[in-house]
């Protein structure tokens, strides 16, 4: 299932990016669990596309761990003021549908998943 995320970027899960001589070098993944910027596959793992983020390729950390399972699900990420929001595809509004809020993308997703369980 392709998933479209809109934070300040618009892109689709698993799209090709970074072409060299016409061949794709990376695939776009889900939003960074810290800053919400698109991530990409990198050296068998993944990295954030925002150079200032802890999860970026500029940080020499060895491995960021597994890709979050919600990256290729029907959870969408947005912003509401200073907080990130997480909501399902069938979201209607805040009064009628579950929505998660948090200081990071992962916090918002965790908040949403608690409401759904």
Neighbours of 25 (CB within 10 A): 13
Number of folded domains that form the chain: 1
Binning pLDDT at 50, 70 and 90, where does residue 48 land?
confident
pLDDT value at residue 13:
63
For 21, the domain range is 4-116
- pLDDT, tens digit, for every residue of 66-117? 788 888 777 888 888 889 888 887 888 888 899 999 998 889 999 999 999 8
């Amino acid at each position: 299932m392709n998933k479209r995320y809109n934070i300040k970027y618009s892109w689709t899960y698993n799209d090709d990016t970074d072409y060299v001589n016409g061949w794709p070098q990376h695939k776009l993944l889900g939003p960074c669990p810290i800053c919400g910027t698109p991530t990409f596959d990198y050296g068998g793992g993944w990295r954030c596309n925002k150079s200032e983020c802890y999860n970026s390729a500029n940080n020499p950390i060895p491995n960021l761990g597994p890709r979050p399972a919600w990256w290729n699900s029907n959870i969408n990420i947005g912003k509401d003021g200073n907080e990130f929001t997480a909501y399902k595809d069938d979201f209607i509004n805040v009064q009628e549908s579950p929505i998660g809020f948090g200081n990071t993308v992962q916090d918002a997703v965790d908040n949403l998943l608690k409401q759904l369980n």
